[in-house]
Amino acid sequence: MRIIPLQNYHISLPLYGHSVRAGFPSPADDYIEKSLDLNEHVIQHPAATYFVRAHGESMIQLGIHDGDLLVVDRALEAVHGDVVIAALDGQLTCKVLDLRQERLLSGNDLFRPISLKDLDLIIEGVVTHSLRYHR
């Protein structure tokens, strides 16, 4: 994984007042409700947030695909069920934290759980959002 630093700038983009149907098309409406700053919606703790690009297929059943940009918050305490960035013996990985059975789970049935027993584990942050590139 490659960590991408968080920049200290804000870009406000137009937010249209109507939602867009994902099924059948509806007439477009040019009404702009207000400006939208993505920083307000995806970044809760700017000083503790970073971006990292996902690599591989181990989280596809959770909607995280190869190449997606993950928003990771280091200020959040990881709880059971969180998607986390974990350092296992110095290697970064994105997995689901299973505190009840002390393991990390993949979001792909082809990958086995990773037992946390006898491993050097550091939680590097909680994944709060994933951004997929469609083009």
The enclosing H or E element of 40 equals: helix 38-42
Quick check: helix, strand or coil at residue 104?
Answer: strand
So which residues are the catalytic ones?
58, 95
For 104-134, the pLDDT digits (tens) are: 999 999 999 999 888 888 999 999 999 998 8
User: What confidence category does residue 1 fall into, taking pLDDT thresholds of 50, 70 and 90?
Assistant: low
Supply the pTM of this predicted model: 0.77
Q: Which domains are delineated in the chain?
A: 8-42 (no CATH), 46-131 (2.10.109.10)
Q: Yes or no: say if 1 and 55 are a contact pair by the CB < 8 Å rule.
A: yes
Q: Which pLDDT score is estimated for 14?
A: 58
